[in-house]
A = this chain, B = another copy of it.
Amino acid sequence: MFKLLKISGSARRGTLKTAHGEIQTPFFMTIGTVGAVKGLLPSEVRELGGQVILSNTYHLHLRPGEDTVEKAGGLHRFMDWDGPILTDSGGYQVFSLSKIRKLKEDGVEFQSHLDGKKIFLTPEKAIEIQQKLGSDIMMVLDECPASTAKRDYIEKSLALTTEWARRCKIRNSKFEIRNSMLFSIVQGGLHPDLRERSARELVKIGFDGYAIGGLSVGEPNEVMYEMIGHTVPHLPDDKPRYLMGVGTPQDILEAVGRGIDMFDCVLPTRNARHGHLFTSKGIVRIKNEQYKEDFTPLDPECGCYTCMHFTKAYLRHLFMANEILSLRLNTLHNVAFYLNLMKQIREAIEDGKFDEFKKDFLNKYTP
Protein backbone atom coordinates (compact mmCIF):
# COMPACT_ATOMS: atom_id res chain seq x y z
CA MET A 1 0.00 0.00 0.00
CA PHE A 2 2.99 2.30 0.57
CA LYS A 3 5.17 2.96 -2.45
CA LEU A 4 8.48 4.75 -2.27
CA LEU A 5 8.99 7.03 -5.28
CA LYS A 6 12.12 8.98 -4.53
CA ILE A 7 14.68 9.62 -1.80
CA SER A 8 16.58 12.86 -1.28
CA GLY A 9 19.12 12.37 1.51
CA SER A 10 16.99 10.52 4.03
CA ALA A 11 13.82 12.39 3.00
CA ARG A 12 11.27 10.13 1.30
CA ARG A 13 8.68 10.87 -1.35
CA GLY A 14 5.99 8.22 -1.78
CA THR A 15 2.34 7.32 -2.05
CA LEU A 16 0.06 5.59 0.41
CA LYS A 17 -3.06 3.88 -0.90
CA THR A 18 -6.16 3.91 1.26
CA ALA A 19 -9.78 2.91 0.79
CA HIS A 20 -10.51 6.61 0.26
CA GLY A 21 -7.82 7.47 -2.23
CA GLU A 22 -4.09 7.68 -2.62
CA ILE A 23 -2.10 10.01 -0.37
CA GLN A 24 1.07 11.75 -1.51
CA THR A 25 3.78 11.52 1.15
CA PRO A 26 5.18 13.20 3.16
CA PHE A 27 1.91 14.70 4.37
CA PHE A 28 0.38 16.62 7.22
CA MET A 29 -2.99 15.66 8.65
CA THR A 30 -5.42 18.40 9.59
CA ILE A 31 -6.93 17.81 13.03
CA GLY A 32 -10.66 17.22 13.22
CA THR A 33 -10.85 15.91 16.76
CA VAL A 34 -14.59 15.42 17.08
CA GLY A 35 -15.24 14.93 13.38
CA ALA A 36 -14.84 18.58 12.38
CA VAL A 37 -11.84 20.73 11.61
CA LYS A 38 -12.27 23.72 13.93
CA GLY A 39 -13.79 26.39 11.71
CA LEU A 40 -13.27 24.82 8.28
CA LEU A 41 -15.42 22.83 5.93
CA PRO A 42 -14.00 19.54 4.69
CA SER A 43 -14.30 20.92 1.15
CA GLU A 44 -12.03 23.80 2.17
CA VAL A 45 -9.45 21.43 3.65
CA ARG A 46 -9.50 19.64 0.31
CA GLU A 47 -9.13 22.88 -1.67
CA LEU A 48 -6.16 23.87 0.49
CA GLY A 49 -4.45 20.62 -0.47
CA GLY A 50 -5.44 18.62 2.61
CA GLN A 51 -5.30 14.88 2.03
CA VAL A 52 -6.14 13.34 5.38
CA ILE A 53 -8.22 14.41 8.38
CA LEU A 54 -7.35 13.03 11.81
CA SER A 55 -10.14 12.35 14.28
CA ASN A 56 -10.02 11.11 17.83
CA THR A 57 -11.47 7.81 18.91
CA TYR A 58 -11.63 8.98 22.51
CA HIS A 59 -13.73 12.06 21.72
CA LEU A 60 -16.02 10.35 19.25
CA HIS A 61 -16.57 7.42 21.59
CA LEU A 62 -17.74 9.82 24.30
CA ARG A 63 -19.78 11.95 21.92
CA PRO A 64 -21.78 11.19 19.78
CA GLY A 65 -20.66 7.55 20.22
CA GLU A 66 -19.39 5.19 17.52
CA ASP A 67 -22.80 3.57 17.15
CA THR A 68 -24.35 6.86 16.10
CA VAL A 69 -21.50 7.50 13.67
CA GLU A 70 -21.91 3.98 12.26
CA LYS A 71 -25.65 4.54 11.80
CA ALA A 72 -24.83 7.79 10.00
CA GLY A 73 -22.97 5.69 7.45
CA GLY A 74 -19.55 6.11 9.03
CA LEU A 75 -17.45 9.12 9.88
CA HIS A 76 -16.76 10.07 6.26
CA ARG A 77 -20.41 10.53 5.48
CA PHE A 78 -21.22 12.01 8.91
CA MET A 79 -18.69 14.81 8.47
CA ASP A 80 -18.90 15.05 4.65
CA TRP A 81 -15.25 14.16 3.98
CA ASP A 82 -14.60 11.58 1.27
CA GLY A 83 -10.83 11.51 1.70
CA PRO A 84 -8.84 9.28 4.05
CA ILE A 85 -9.37 9.52 7.80
CA LEU A 86 -6.83 8.51 10.41
CA THR A 87 -8.17 7.85 13.88
CA ASP A 88 -6.07 8.05 16.96
CA SER A 89 -6.72 5.13 19.30
CA GLY A 90 -7.64 7.24 22.30
CA GLY A 91 -4.55 6.20 24.25
CA TYR A 92 -3.01 9.66 24.28
CA GLN A 93 -6.28 11.34 25.25
CA VAL A 94 -6.96 8.88 28.07
CA PHE A 95 -3.59 9.76 29.53
CA SER A 96 -3.75 13.51 28.88
CA LEU A 97 -7.43 14.49 29.30
CA SER A 98 -8.82 12.10 31.88
CA LYS A 99 -8.01 12.98 35.47
CA ILE A 100 -8.65 9.57 36.98
CA ARG A 101 -7.49 6.42 35.28
CA LYS A 102 -6.54 2.91 36.32
CA LEU A 103 -4.13 1.04 34.17
CA LYS A 104 -4.71 -2.70 34.14
CA GLU A 105 -3.18 -5.54 32.16
CA ASP A 106 -6.39 -5.86 30.22
CA GLY A 107 -6.93 -2.17 29.45
CA VAL A 108 -7.44 1.21 31.01
CA GLU A 109 -10.31 2.50 33.07
CA PHE A 110 -10.86 6.24 32.85
CA GLN A 111 -13.39 8.93 33.55
CA SER A 112 -14.96 10.86 30.72
CA HIS A 113 -13.78 14.48 30.82
CA LEU A 114 -17.32 15.42 29.79
CA ASP A 115 -19.50 13.84 32.44
CA GLY A 116 -17.21 11.79 34.69
CA LYS A 117 -18.68 8.49 33.50
CA LYS A 118 -16.33 5.52 33.98
CA ILE A 119 -15.22 3.87 30.78
CA PHE A 120 -13.07 0.79 30.29
CA LEU A 121 -11.02 0.84 27.11
CA THR A 122 -9.20 -2.26 25.93
CA PRO A 123 -7.02 -2.76 22.87
CA GLU A 124 -9.82 -4.80 21.32
CA LYS A 125 -12.41 -2.15 22.10
CA ALA A 126 -10.21 0.57 20.54
CA ILE A 127 -10.18 -1.41 17.29
CA GLU A 128 -13.91 -2.09 17.42
CA ILE A 129 -14.64 1.61 17.85
CA GLN A 130 -12.34 2.60 15.01
CA GLN A 131 -13.90 -0.02 12.74
CA LYS A 132 -17.34 1.38 13.50
CA LEU A 133 -16.13 4.88 12.72
CA GLY A 134 -14.91 3.56 9.36
CA SER A 135 -11.33 4.75 9.80
CA ASP A 136 -8.86 4.34 6.93
CA ILE A 137 -5.85 4.30 9.21
CA MET A 138 -6.37 2.96 12.71
CA MET A 139 -3.92 3.31 15.57
CA VAL A 140 -3.28 0.68 18.22
CA LEU A 141 -4.05 1.50 21.83
CA ASP A 142 -0.86 2.47 23.63
CA GLU A 143 0.13 3.76 27.00
CA CYS A 144 1.82 7.16 26.90
CA PRO A 145 4.01 7.48 29.96
CA ALA A 146 5.50 10.89 30.76
CA SER A 147 8.91 11.13 29.10
CA THR A 148 10.23 12.15 32.53
CA ALA A 149 9.00 8.89 34.12
CA LYS A 150 11.61 6.54 35.55
CA ARG A 151 13.24 4.12 33.14
CA ASP A 152 11.75 1.18 35.00
CA TYR A 153 8.27 2.50 34.47
CA ILE A 154 8.85 3.28 30.81
CA GLU A 155 10.25 -0.19 30.25
CA LYS A 156 7.26 -1.84 31.87
CA SER A 157 4.90 0.44 29.95
CA LEU A 158 6.63 -0.48 26.74
CA ALA A 159 6.01 -4.17 27.29
CA LEU A 160 2.33 -3.41 27.84
CA THR A 161 2.13 -1.23 24.74
CA THR A 162 3.69 -3.99 22.63
CA GLU A 163 1.30 -6.55 24.04
CA TRP A 164 -1.66 -4.25 23.41
CA ALA A 165 -0.46 -3.71 19.83
CA ARG A 166 -0.41 -7.48 19.32
CA ARG A 167 -3.94 -7.77 20.71
CA CYS A 168 -5.12 -4.95 18.43
CA LYS A 169 -3.76 -6.80 15.44
CA ILE A 170 -5.44 -10.05 16.49
CA ARG A 171 -8.77 -8.32 17.09
CA ASN A 172 -8.57 -6.54 13.76
CA SER A 173 -7.80 -9.78 11.89
CA LYS A 174 -11.24 -11.06 12.91
CA PHE A 175 -13.12 -8.43 10.90
CA GLU A 176 -14.25 -9.91 7.61
CA ILE A 177 -14.04 -6.70 5.65
CA ARG A 178 -10.80 -4.91 6.29
CA ASN A 179 -10.46 -1.73 4.29
CA SER A 180 -8.45 0.00 6.94
CA MET A 181 -4.78 -0.12 7.80
CA LEU A 182 -3.50 -0.63 11.31
CA PHE A 183 -0.49 1.29 12.57
CA SER A 184 1.41 0.59 15.77
CA ILE A 185 3.19 3.14 17.96
CA VAL A 186 6.82 3.05 19.01
CA GLN A 187 7.30 4.26 22.59
CA GLY A 188 10.33 4.18 24.90
CA GLY A 189 10.61 7.70 26.26
CA LEU A 190 13.99 9.31 25.71
CA HIS A 191 15.93 6.04 25.92
CA PRO A 192 17.50 5.09 22.59
CA ASP A 193 17.73 1.40 23.48
CA LEU A 194 14.07 1.26 24.52
CA ARG A 195 13.03 3.02 21.32
CA GLU A 196 15.01 0.43 19.37
CA ARG A 197 13.48 -2.44 21.35
CA SER A 198 9.98 -1.07 20.83
CA ALA A 199 10.51 -0.67 17.10
CA ARG A 200 11.99 -4.16 16.69
CA GLU A 201 9.19 -5.85 18.63
CA LEU A 202 6.46 -4.06 16.72
CA VAL A 203 8.06 -4.74 13.35
CA LYS A 204 8.23 -8.40 14.32
CA ILE A 205 4.47 -8.43 14.89
CA GLY A 206 4.04 -6.58 11.61
CA PHE A 207 1.84 -3.54 10.93
CA ASP A 208 0.80 -1.45 7.95
CA GLY A 209 2.74 1.50 9.29
CA TYR A 210 4.71 2.66 12.31
CA ALA A 211 4.19 5.72 14.41
CA ILE A 212 6.59 7.30 16.83
CA GLY A 213 4.71 8.44 19.93
CA GLY A 214 5.61 10.19 23.14
CA LEU A 215 7.80 12.88 21.59
CA SER A 216 7.43 16.67 21.49
CA VAL A 217 6.23 16.56 25.07
CA GLY A 218 8.63 19.08 26.53
CA GLU A 219 12.05 17.66 25.69
CA PRO A 220 14.51 19.89 23.78
CA ASN A 221 14.06 19.74 20.01
CA GLU A 222 17.51 18.24 19.56
CA VAL A 223 16.60 15.34 21.84
CA MET A 224 13.46 14.71 19.83
CA TYR A 225 15.43 14.71 16.58
CA GLU A 226 17.93 12.33 18.17
CA MET A 227 15.15 9.95 19.20
CA ILE A 228 13.77 9.96 15.66
CA GLY A 229 17.26 9.17 14.45
CA HIS A 230 17.47 6.23 16.87
CA THR A 231 14.11 4.83 15.85
CA VAL A 232 13.86 5.19 12.07
CA PRO A 233 16.72 2.79 11.21
CA HIS A 234 14.78 -0.01 12.92
CA LEU A 235 11.64 0.56 10.87
CA PRO A 236 11.11 -1.09 7.48
CA ASP A 237 11.64 1.04 4.38
CA ASP A 238 8.47 -0.21 2.74
CA LYS A 239 6.10 1.05 5.43
CA PRO A 240 5.07 4.63 6.23
CA ARG A 241 6.49 6.33 9.31
CA TYR A 242 4.33 8.67 11.32
CA LEU A 243 5.63 11.17 13.89
CA MET A 244 2.65 11.79 16.15
CA GLY A 245 1.67 15.25 17.33
CA VAL A 246 4.60 17.08 15.74
CA GLY A 247 5.13 19.95 15.17
CA THR A 248 6.48 23.34 14.15
CA PRO A 249 7.57 23.93 10.54
CA GLN A 250 11.18 23.43 11.69
CA ASP A 251 10.29 20.14 13.40
CA ILE A 252 8.59 18.89 10.28
CA LEU A 253 11.59 19.74 8.10
CA GLU A 254 13.99 18.06 10.53
CA ALA A 255 11.80 14.98 10.75
CA VAL A 256 11.28 14.67 7.00
CA GLY A 257 15.05 14.92 6.72
CA ARG A 258 15.23 11.89 9.02
CA GLY A 259 12.83 9.79 6.97
CA ILE A 260 9.40 10.60 8.45
CA ASP A 261 6.39 10.48 6.10
CA MET A 262 3.39 11.54 8.17
CA PHE A 263 2.56 14.30 10.62
CA ASP A 264 -0.33 15.67 12.61
CA CYS A 265 -0.37 18.58 14.99
CA VAL A 266 -2.81 21.01 16.58
CA LEU A 267 -0.38 23.90 16.04
CA PRO A 268 -1.82 25.39 12.84
CA THR A 269 -5.44 25.22 14.02
CA ARG A 270 -4.95 25.96 17.73
CA ASN A 271 -2.44 28.75 17.18
CA ALA A 272 -4.72 30.30 14.59
CA ARG A 273 -7.34 30.72 17.28
CA HIS A 274 -4.78 32.50 19.42
CA GLY A 275 -3.86 34.86 16.60
CA HIS A 276 -0.50 33.18 16.18
CA LEU A 277 -0.07 33.02 12.43
CA PHE A 278 2.51 31.21 10.32
CA THR A 279 4.03 33.06 7.38
CA SER A 280 6.95 32.51 5.04
CA LYS A 281 8.91 35.02 7.12
CA GLY A 282 7.96 33.50 10.44
CA ILE A 283 5.35 33.97 13.12
CA VAL A 284 2.98 36.96 13.08
CA ARG A 285 1.19 37.69 16.36
CA ILE A 286 -1.73 39.47 14.82
CA LYS A 287 -2.84 41.29 17.95
CA ASN A 288 0.34 43.36 18.01
CA GLU A 289 -0.23 47.11 17.79
CA GLN A 290 2.13 47.31 14.80
CA TYR A 291 -0.55 45.74 12.59
CA LYS A 292 -3.32 48.22 13.50
CA GLU A 293 -2.87 50.13 10.26
CA ASP A 294 -0.92 47.59 8.26
CA PHE A 295 -2.97 47.33 5.10
CA THR A 296 -0.78 44.65 3.50
CA PRO A 297 -1.63 40.95 3.26
CA LEU A 298 -0.64 38.61 6.08
CA ASP A 299 1.76 36.70 3.83
CA PRO A 300 2.40 38.07 0.34
CA GLU A 301 3.71 34.64 -0.68
CA CYS A 302 0.47 32.92 0.31
CA GLY A 303 -2.45 32.47 -2.09
CA CYS A 304 -5.10 31.51 0.49
CA TYR A 305 -8.44 33.32 0.68
CA THR A 306 -7.39 35.18 3.81
CA CYS A 307 -4.25 36.57 2.21
CA MET A 308 -5.95 37.33 -1.10
CA HIS A 309 -8.89 39.24 0.40
CA PHE A 310 -7.91 40.79 3.71
CA THR A 311 -5.23 42.94 5.30
CA LYS A 312 -3.35 42.45 8.54
CA ALA A 313 -5.21 45.50 9.87
CA TYR A 314 -8.55 43.78 9.27
CA LEU A 315 -7.35 40.46 10.71
CA ARG A 316 -6.13 42.32 13.78
CA HIS A 317 -9.45 44.12 14.09
CA LEU A 318 -11.38 40.82 13.93
CA PHE A 319 -9.06 39.25 16.49
CA MET A 320 -9.35 42.18 18.92
CA ALA A 321 -13.14 42.19 18.51
CA ASN A 322 -13.23 38.44 19.19
CA GLU A 323 -15.14 37.80 15.98
CA ILE A 324 -15.87 34.24 14.81
CA LEU A 325 -14.60 35.22 11.38
CA SER A 326 -11.20 35.78 12.98
CA LEU A 327 -10.98 32.12 14.00
CA ARG A 328 -12.06 31.11 10.56
CA LEU A 329 -9.75 33.31 8.50
CA ASN A 330 -6.78 32.61 10.76
CA THR A 331 -7.37 28.87 10.68
CA LEU A 332 -7.78 28.90 6.92
CA HIS A 333 -4.45 30.63 6.55
CA ASN A 334 -2.49 28.49 9.00
CA VAL A 335 -3.79 25.27 7.50
CA ALA A 336 -2.96 26.62 4.03
CA PHE A 337 0.54 27.41 5.26
CA TYR A 338 1.15 23.91 6.62
CA LEU A 339 -0.32 22.15 3.61
CA ASN A 340 1.66 24.36 1.26
CA LEU A 341 4.83 23.62 3.21
CA MET A 342 4.20 19.89 2.72
CA LYS A 343 3.61 20.43 -0.99
CA GLN A 344 6.90 22.30 -1.28
CA ILE A 345 8.65 19.55 0.68
CA ARG A 346 7.29 16.91 -1.69
CA GLU A 347 8.40 18.90 -4.73
CA ALA A 348 11.85 19.47 -3.24
CA ILE A 349 12.30 15.75 -2.64
CA GLU A 350 11.15 14.99 -6.18
CA ASP A 351 13.75 17.44 -7.45
CA GLY A 352 16.38 15.88 -5.19
CA LYS A 353 16.79 19.24 -3.48
CA PHE A 354 15.30 18.67 -0.07
CA ASP A 355 18.30 19.87 1.94
CA GLU A 356 18.51 23.02 -0.15
CA PHE A 357 14.82 23.72 0.30
CA LYS A 358 15.05 23.16 4.04
CA LYS A 359 17.99 25.54 4.34
CA ASP A 360 16.28 28.24 2.25
CA PHE A 361 13.07 27.93 4.20
CA LEU A 362 14.71 28.17 7.61
CA ASN A 363 16.85 31.09 6.48
CA LYS A 364 13.78 33.18 5.78
CA TYR A 365 11.75 31.91 8.73
CA THR A 366 11.89 33.51 12.20
CA PRO A 367 10.24 31.19 14.75
Contacts and interface: CB of A to CB of B under 8 A. Distances in A.
Interface of A: 34-41, 59, 63-64, 68, 71-73, 78-80, 292-293, 295, 305, 309-311, 313-314, 316-318, 320-321, 323-328, 331
B38 A325 contact: yes
Nearest to A34: B321
A303 to B, nearest CB: 16
A327 B324 contact: yes
Contacts of A59: 321
Nearest to A308: B80
This chain's copy number in the assembly: 2
B310 A63 contact: no
Contacts of A305: 41
Contacts of A323: 34, 36, 38
A291 to B, nearest CB: 11
A317 to B, nearest CB: 5
Most chain B CB atoms below 10 A, which of A36, A293, A331: A36
A78 B314 contact: yes
A38 B324 CA distance: 6
Contacts of A317: 34-35, 63-64, 68, 78
5 contacts: A34-B317, A38-B324, A38-B325, A41-B325, A72-B293
